[in-house]
Amino acid sequence: MQYTNPDLKFNSVPPSGEIGWKSPSNIALIKYWGKKGNQIPQNPSLSFSLNKAHTQTTVQYRPAKGNKFSVDFLLNGKTNAAFGEKTTSFFKSLSEVFPFIRQLDFTIHSENTFPHSAGIASSASGMSALALTLCDLERTYFHQINDIDFFQKASFLARLGSGSACRSVYGGYTIWGETQAQNNTTNLYAVPVKGKVHPEFQHFQDTILLVETGAKKVSSRAGHALMNNHPFATERFGQARENLKILLTALQSGDLETFIRITESEALTLHAMMMTSNPSFLLMKPETLQIISKIQEFRMSTGTPVCFTLDAGPNVHMLYPLSAKELVHDFLNQELSKHTGNRGWIEDELGEGPQKITS
Ligand code: DP6
């Protein structure tokens, strides 16, 4: 594997200590749906990192008691066996990149700022926080790494934990996957969108309308697998490549109309892929359709630049520039709130990316 480095191990008694990172969730505008090999995406994707929805992870480490490492994982203060197993296998898969992992025992405290049941994927924020923390251990005990290489490596490793996690390593807009639209892109890690994003898109808002707060009906892994042998796969991957180019130009020129057209089409295509796969999944709920129809009607009748995107679930991300916030909020309170019942919504916006936790 790239980054394999047998020298990254302690030659005397390993240290004890604590390192932590806070890392955001992100929302994809151009969707990653379909992968091959070792977490290689079938098409490039583009997202922005959120501000409020993030995972805060602190890793406490000490010399391993036995000849292999152990992980105790606590989510919001409570032992979580499932996350513990996921982290153990993630760490195992990285033991040739960071041989020091095998010399340590870990207690990991992780907290999400959004409720676990809110339907916001915690894998992007969680895996990126873990990858950043491991890279920080390397930087603390072995050698200095400049920031560019540090975040690049963290993104590469986060990708192995969860594809979309590699985009959470940076703030603002990020591209993961090879595209002709920007010259430093790769399937191996995400990179920030180059050049200036138009002011209209710099403080973009994301109000997440909660239609359902239960666990996901289809896991990401199973979802991506549905694209293998999907009758429309080749067309879809080609379309995503084209959409990314168009969206990137719109982001740079401030073309809200094109942004809206492409973003909504990507969300609906993601769901169309799920509805036409075998087995098929219908993840939108009646309220999802009511909300997205109302957003489109409101946009058409008032000219307000607001649109939606969807993850692989029924909740609606309503996206709009800061300049439209007041109008959108009136509309939200008057028209949309009735479709979210007592689940309500989460106010978020474009964020600046991960931060080291300093105590
Ligand atoms: C619909 O990154 O969760 O949110 O690589 O299997 O962990 P794994 O999948 P994951 O897939 C995200 C799918 C998506 C679209 C996106 O974020 O681009």
Amino acid at 274: M
- What's the gap in Å between 107 CA and the centre of ligand 1? 27
- What's the gap in Å between 121 CA and the centre of ligand 1? 8
Residue with the smallest CA separation from ligand 1 atom 7 is: 162
Counting atoms of ligand 1 from 1, which one is nearest the CA of 121? 3
Counting atoms of ligand 1 from 1, which one is nearest the CA of 224? 6
Please check whether residues 277 and 262 belong to one and the same domain.
yes
12 part of a folded domain: no
Counting atoms of ligand 1 from 1, which one is nearest the CA of 270? 1
> How much is the pLDDT for 116?
62
Looking at 194, 220, 248, the residue that finishes a domain is 194
Looking at 168, 194, 220, the residue that finishes a domain is 194
- What's the gap in Å between 201 CA and the centre of ligand 1? 23
Please check whether residues 271 and 204 belong to one and the same domain.
yes
- What's the gap in Å between 67 CA and the centre of ligand 1? 35
Percent of the residues in the chain that have a pLDDT greater than 90, as a whole number: 90
- What's the gap in Å between 309 CA and the centre of ligand 1? 14
> How much is the pLDDT for 241?
98
Mean pLDDT for the stretch of residues 21-35: 97
Please check whether residues 190 and 220 belong to one and the same domain.
no
- What's the gap in Å between 163 CA and the centre of ligand 1? 6
356 part of a folded domain: no
Please check whether residues 230 and 257 belong to one and the same domain.
yes
Looking at 194, 224, 253, the residue that finishes a domain is 194
The contacts of residue 140 (CB under 8 Å, 6+ apart) are 17, 19
Is residue 199 within 8 A of residue 256, CB to CB? The reply is no
Please check whether residues 203 and 345 belong to one and the same domain.
yes
The CATH number assigned to the domain holding 102 equals 3.30.230.10
55 part of a folded domain: yes
334 part of a folded domain: yes
> How much is the pLDDT for 1?
59
- What's the gap in Å between 144 CA and the centre of ligand 1? 32
Over 60: is that where the pLDDT of 117 sits? no
Please check whether residues 173 and 248 belong to one and the same domain.
no
Other beta carbons within 10 Å of 2 = 8
- What's the gap in Å between 33 CA and the centre of ligand 1? 7
Residue with the smallest CA separation from ligand 1 atom 9 is: 220
Please check whether residues 81 and 180 belong to one and the same domain.
yes
Counting atoms of ligand 1 from 1, which one is nearest the CA of 30? 18
6 part of a folded domain: no
pLDDT band at 102 (very low <50, low <70, confident <90, very high): very high
Please check whether residues 187 and 319 belong to one and the same domain.
no
> How much is the pLDDT for 118?
60
- Domain hosting 306: range is 199-349
List, for residues 40-65, the tens digit of each pLDDT value: 999 999 999 999 999 999 999 999 99
pLDDT band at 73 (very low <50, low <70, confident <90, very high): very high
> How much is the pLDDT for 137?
97
Domain count, the chain: 2
Please check whether residues 63 and 131 belong to one and the same domain.
yes
Please check whether residues 48 and 188 belong to one and the same domain.
yes
pLDDT band at 91 (very low <50, low <70, confident <90, very high): very high
Strand pairing of 70-75 and 104-112?
parallel
| Binding-site residues, ligand 1, Cβ < 6 A | 28, 31-33, 39, 45, 121, 123, 162-164, 220-221, 224, 270, 311-312
Structure-token pair, residue 314:
């029924």
φ and ψ of 128, to 5 deg:
-70, -35
- What's the gap in Å between 32 CA and the centre of ligand 1? 6
What does the alpha-carbon distance between residue 255 and residue 252 come to, in Å, rounded to a whole number?
A: 8
The chain-wide mean pLDDT, for the chain, equals: 95
Over 60: is that where the pLDDT of 298 sits? yes
> How much is the pLDDT for 213?
81
> How much is the pLDDT for 75?
93
> How much is the pLDDT for 220?
83
Where helices occur in the chain by DSSP H, the ranges are 81-93, 123-141, 147-161, 220-225, 233-253, 256-275, 286-302, 325-331
The string over 249-271, giving b where at least 16 C-beta atoms fall within 10 Å of a residue's C-beta and e elsewhere, is ebbeeebbeebbbbbbebbbbbb
Counting atoms of ligand 1 from 1, which one is nearest the CA of 32? 18
List, for residues 177-201, the tens digit of each pLDDT value: 999 999 999 999 999 999 899 999 9
pLDDT band at 159 (very low <50, low <70, confident <90, very high): very high
130 part of a folded domain: yes
> How much is the pLDDT for 114?
79
109 part of a folded domain: yes
List for the chain the helix, strand, coil content (%; round to 5): 40, 25, 35
Please check whether residues 231 and 257 belong to one and the same domain.
yes
Residue with the smallest CA separation from ligand 1 atom 4 is: 311
* Candidate of 38, 156, 164 to mutate for ligand 1, largest count of ligand atoms within 8 Å of Cβ: 164
> How much is the pLDDT for 355?
98
Other beta carbons within 10 Å of 285 = 16
Please check whether residues 172 and 252 belong to one and the same domain.
no
- What's the gap in Å between 220 CA and the centre of ligand 1? 6
* Candidate of 25, 40, 155, 220 to mutate for ligand 1, largest count of ligand atoms within 8 Å of Cβ: 220
List, for residues 219-233, the tens digit of each pLDDT value: 888 899 999 999 999
284 part of a folded domain: yes
The CATH number assigned to the domain holding 246 equals 3.30.70.890
Over 80: is that where the pLDDT of 163 sits? yes
Counting atoms of ligand 1 from 1, which one is nearest the CA of 26? 17
Counting atoms of ligand 1 from 1, which one is nearest the CA of 35? 5
